[in-house]
């Protein structure tokens, strides 16, 4: 949620933000409603004050009694008008995007993201490499046909060593984050609508979510929703900042609009497992920048531990979510796709989610202030299995196990079953 005072004072900036983010919001109507609401609120307050004067009057003359009746009728009409205006205003405000940071490049899509660095050498194979699906089938790690039979398209069963590998990667990540001050949190996968709206996933993006019929309950697409909502309507303590969480959950996304895209393998699926970094901090841009770099470094350290080549890009305006003011995409090299592909998304959110969720704290002067939030993927599986298996495959069909994973798996190589 954007502060209406900021919108009033920066109308053209907000209109340009909507254009740059490709998120149409009716700024003119919002400003018009804001004027009407403030006027209506003043009229209601004035009439209520007069009503109180009349009700306290010791003179109960016919004129006083008649005025009291007229005020009651007029006040009911004014309150109804105010409610109508406020309902429309609140609805339109849900579509207003946050303003990107000054260093975010203006662009039309992910092709305009700015590459910042590449880390690790892309492997040159001395043999014809297999894609992750063929590797997994040779290792008895996956059953897609039965996944589709049971749950429909983009579904799968992970089996045997794949399950252990996913658990090993997750445990490596959780252990790393815990040592860095992040509290592991196993979160609800089913949340109420206000949790989805409060984090900015509704109404924009609602078509990506699974709804439980006959109930205002939804399956999360990221534990960020549950973790940010954990402090909904709370007043946090300044001395507790930054509050660091490592959220652990299964995630569910419809992948609406991707029909026929990435249908082979595990790149784009409806259900996946994720460890998410979420931070609450004081409303301080420099502190947010420091913490943004921290969660980005965590991700890079994870990929380094998995011995995977990757690149970091600064997302352009059109590739930002509604609530994001700045985002780094971390893309890992996937040989079968012959490209760096997104595996992590590191976001600064400012007070957007805190305003929607009413998450506040008292600053050093005692003033009630909305907190800032940040988030970044720590690991998402099975997508991370794609580069992990493809980059570490060996000519004899075995899979090299990165040194950091060996304590969790107990082996230094995984051998095929066929």
Query: Which tokens sit at 117?
Result: 């660095």
Tell me what pLDDT residue 41 has: 96
The reply to whether 268 belongs to the active site is yes
Q: How far is the CA of 205 from the CAs of 201, 256, 322, 329, in angstroms?
A: 6, 9, 9, 19
Mean pLDDT (the chain, rounded): 96
Radius of gyration for the alpha carbons in the chain, expressed in angstroms and rounded: 26
Mean pLDDT of 307-334: 98
CA distances (Å), 121 to each of 125, 135, 289, 343, in order?
12, 22, 28, 17
Beta-sheet pairing, 360-362 with 235-236: parallel
330: pLDDT strictly greater than 80 = yes
Q: Specify whether 342 is catalytic.
A: yes
pTM > 0.85: yes or no: yes
Mark whether 117 is an active-site residue.
no
- The span from the CA of 310 to the CA of 300, in Å, is 8
Q: Give pLDDT tens digits for 335-381.
A: 999 999 999 999 999 999 999 999 999 999 999 999 999 999 999 99
The active-site residue out of 253, 326, 356, 360 is: 253
Indicate if the pLDDT at residue 161 is higher than 80.
yes
**Two structure tokens written together for 342:** 């997104």
Between CA 412 and CA 418 the distance in angstroms is: 19
Q: What are phi and psi of 402, to 5 degrees?
A: -55, 150
At 403-412, the pLDDT tens digits run 999 999 999 9
**Catalytic entry in 48, 134, 342, 398:** 342
Q: Which residues contact 46 (CB under 8 A, 6 or more apart)?
A: none
67 as an active site residue: the answer is no
Burial of 397 (0-12, 13-18, 19+ CB in 10 A): middle
3-state secondary structure the chain: CCCHHHHHHCHHHHHHHHHHHCCCCCHHHHHHHHHHHHHHHHHHHHHHHHHHHHHHCCCCCHHHHHHHHHHHHHHHHHHHHHHHHHHHHHHHHCCCCCCCCCCCCCCCCHHHCEEEEEECCCCCCCCCCCCHHHHHHHCCCEEHHHHHHHHCCCCCEECCHHHHHHHHHHHHHHHHHHHCCCEEEECCCEEEHHHHHHCCCCCCCHHHCCEECCCCEEECCCHHHHHHHCCCCCEECHHHCCEEEEEEEEEECCCCCCCCCCCCCCCCCCEEEEEEEEEEECCCHHHHHHHHHHHHHHHHHHHHHCCCCEEEEECCHHHCCCCCCEEEEEEEEEHHHCEEEEEEEEEEEECHHHHHHCCEEECCCCCEEECEEEEEEEEEECCCHHHHHHHCECCCCCEECCHHHHHHHCCCEECCCC
The active-site residue out of 192, 268, 311, 337 is 268
Can you read off the two tokens belonging to residue 255?
């992948």
Q: In the block, which residue shows the tokens 């205002």?
A: 216
Residue holding tokens 């300044």? 238
Q: Is the pLDDT of residue 258 over 90?
A: no
Active-site pick, 154, 355, 360, 383: 383
pLDDT, one tens digit per residue, over 76-134 is: 999 999 999 999 999 999 999 999 999 999 999 999 999 999 999 999 999 999 999 99
Task: Say which of 226, 345, 347, 381 is annotated catalytic.
Answer: 345
* CA dist., res. 198 & res. 195, Å (int): 5
Residue 290 tokens read as: 């420091």
Q: What is the pLDDT of residues 50-79, one digit of tens each?
A: 988 888 887 878 888 888 889 999 999 999
Cis peptide preceding 319, ω within 30 of 0: no
Would you call 415 a catalytic residue per the annotation?
no
Greater pLDDT, 69 or 226: 226
pLDDT band at 334 (very low <50, low <70, confident <90, very high): very high
């Amino acid at each position: 949620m954007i502060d209406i005072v900021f919108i009033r004072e920066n109308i053209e900036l907000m209109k340009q933000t909507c254009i740059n983010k490709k998120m149409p919001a009716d700024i003119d109507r919002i400003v018009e409603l804001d004027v009407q609401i403030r006027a209506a609120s003043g009229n209601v307050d004035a009439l209520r004050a007069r009503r109180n004067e009349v009700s306290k009057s010791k003179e109960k003359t016919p004129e006083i009694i008649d005025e009291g009746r007229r005020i009651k009728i007029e006040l009911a009409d004014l309150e109804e008008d105010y409610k109508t205006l406020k309902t429309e205003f609140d609805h339109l405000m849900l579509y207003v995007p946050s303003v990107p940071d000054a260093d975010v490049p203006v662009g039309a899509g992910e092709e305009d993201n700015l590459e910042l660095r590449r880390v690790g050498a892309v492997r040159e194979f001395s043999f014809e490499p297999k894609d992750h699906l063929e590797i997994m089938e040779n290792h008895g790690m996956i059953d897609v046909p039965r996944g589709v039979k049971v749950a429909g398209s983009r579904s799968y069963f992970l089996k045997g060593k794949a399950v252990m590998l996913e658990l090993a990667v997750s445990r490596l990540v959780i252990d790393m984050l815990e040592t860095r001050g992040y509290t592991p949190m196993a979160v609800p996968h089913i949340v109420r609508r206000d949790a989805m709206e409060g984090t900015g996933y509704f109404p924009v993006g609602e078509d990506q979510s699974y709804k439980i019929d006959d109930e205002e309950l939804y399956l999360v697409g990221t534990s960020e929703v549950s973790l940010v909502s954990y402090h909904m309507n709370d007043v946090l303590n300044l001395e507790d900042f930054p509050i660091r969480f490592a959220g652990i959950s299964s995630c569910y996304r419809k992948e609406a609009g991707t029909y026929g895209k990435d249908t082979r393998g595990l790149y784009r699926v409806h259900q996946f497992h994720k460890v998410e970094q979420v931070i609450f901090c004081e409303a301080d841009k420099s502190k947010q920048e420091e913490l943004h770099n921290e969660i980005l470094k965590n991700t890079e350290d994870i990929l380094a531990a998995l011995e995977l080549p990757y690149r970091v890009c600064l997302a352009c305006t059109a590739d930002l979510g509604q609530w994001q003011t700045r985002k780094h995409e971390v893309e890992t090299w996937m040989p079968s796709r012959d490209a760096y592909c997104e595996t992590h998304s590191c976001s600064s959110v400012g007070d957007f989610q805190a305003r929607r969720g009413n998450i506040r704290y008292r600053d050093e002067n005692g003033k009630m202030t909305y907190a800032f939030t940040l988030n970044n993927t720590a690991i998402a599986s099975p997508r991370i299995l794609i580069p992990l298996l493809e980059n570490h495959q060996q000519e004899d069909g075995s899979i090299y196990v990165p040194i950091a994973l060996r304590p969790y798996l107990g082996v230094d190589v995984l051998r095929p079953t066929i």
